[in-house]
Amino acid sequence: MPQFLQTTDPDFEAQFQALLSMKREDAPDVNAVVADIIADVRARGDAAVFDLTAKFDRVALTPETMVVSETDVMQAMEAVTDAEIDALEMAAERIRAYHERQLPRDEKWTDSVGAMLGWRWTAVSAAGLYVPGGLATYPSSVLMNAIPARVAGVQRLDMVVPTPDGAMNPLVLAAAKMAGVDTIYRIGGAQAVAALAYGTETVRPVDKITGPGNAFVAAAKRQVFGQVGIDMIAGPSEILIIADAENDPDWIAIDLLSQAEHDESAQSLLITTDADFGRQVATAVETRLASLERHAIAGASWRDYGAIIVVQNLGEAAALTDDIAPEHLELCVANPGALADNITNAGAIFLGAWTPEAIGDYIGGPNHVLPTARSARFSSGLSVLDFMKRTTIAEMTPGALSKIGPAAEILAKSESLEAHGLSIRARLDRLNE
């Protein structure tokens, strides 16, 4: 059974803080191993990638077979059903339409002293997408990473996907084709991240790497940051549902399990104003677990990291939510919009009982690559902006420089940066000649 907490309990705050500080990442210290892998790839290029792929994925590669051929992609497309293609196309269309609205505008204006100021947005030149591999893979993640990059204007889009024992999900290749991925490499792990960051004889380096992976991939992304940009370090999935007693307990139970089935370290939380309803949901979860295909995984997640929190009112629920800062937040209450207005920290919010989180995973439109482990307090989900950079623009006229230059000169002198001040003074003196 999950934890059952009530805000009226005298030790609630201690229990709640213990819940927040619970370490769910089953990630041993892999930094030294990853550092060695990155150094090896930098030193030996393709040879290191081939050796590591043979060791970890049991696949022998050559420069020719490392790249997934167009023939392989077309064969994969033929292996996918029409219904699956239609579903991918609908998802791609909705994801593209949503992210097109995120495109920022360039700005330029003349201020009160006559200086022209502004900024412009441009896309990174090349992005690398990491996609977890094997048969149990996620074509939806391909769409969620690749489509925003294309909408942003990324010129080259490369993807790495491990193929343990040679296995690759045809839907992943179909999604990559649909989303406009240029090159697909049959490699994964820290060696794939290193190859994307530094390049090899076959793999071209990129400017930014996005996409989830295991502890080795996460550590590699941390270590190559600075050489390239990264999106975020994603942890186990999580969901928080705020629900009143007017809901169907079975619906709430299924929604909790939708994240629990991802990973034994995933976390599913329910906040409710009705203790009896919370107990009904707990019973419904156990009933559903009995027939769930991934019952062992979901059961371990619910048992070890799940919790039901009973609050006195929705104000308490909102305050707790901001402390939890969940990746996914479902608001199954009478007025979800009003409650959402009182919550600041969440990766994605799903309003009302008819908006299950799973819609956001596949077909809703917003991105499903979201901040975890309370990082929604300071970061956002993947967007078009993750593949773009802003360059500021300034142009001084002689008149503008004469008005603001003296103040800049004073500040330069106060920082003991003589040449800074002289670069301004030389121009001001010319104006006075």
By annotation, the residues acting in catalysis are 327-328
Q: Which residues pair with 228 in a beta bridge?
A: 225
Phi and psi at residue 389, in whole multiples of 5°?
-135, 150
> Which of these, 224, 259, 243, 427, lies nearest to 333 by C-alpha position?
243
Q: Which of 295, 275, 297, 274 is nearest to 286 (CA)?
A: 295
At residue 123, φ and ψ (nearest 5 deg) are -85, 155
Strand duo 328-332 + 229-230: pairing: unpaired
Map tokens 């975020």 to a residue: 232
> Which residues does residue 330 pair with via DSSP β-bridges, in sequence order?
241, 350
Burial of 370 (0-12, 13-18, 19+ CB in 10 A): buried
Which residues lie closer than 8 Å to 4 by C-beta, 6 or more apart?
278, 282, 307, 308, 310
DSSP-assigned letters across all residues of 381-393: ---GGGGEEEEEE
**Among residues 122, 14, 207, which one has the least CA distance to residue 392?**
122
φ, ψ (nearest 5 deg) of residue 432: -90, 0
Instruction: Output the six-digit token pair for 277.
Output: 């309803």
For residues 378 and 400, give the distance between their C-alpha atoms in angstroms, rounded to a whole number.
37
Kindly give the residue spans of alpha helices, DSSP state H, lying in 45-114: 46-57, 70-79, 82-100
Alpha-carbon distance of 281 to 76, in angstroms, equals 41
Rounded Cα distance between 178 and 228, Å, is 26
Calpha distance 139→169 (Å, rounded):
8
Q: Give the number of residues written for the chain.
A: 433
User: CB count, 10 Å around CB of 133?
Assistant: 23
Q: At what angle do helices 170-179 and 70-79 cross, to 10 degrees?
A: 110
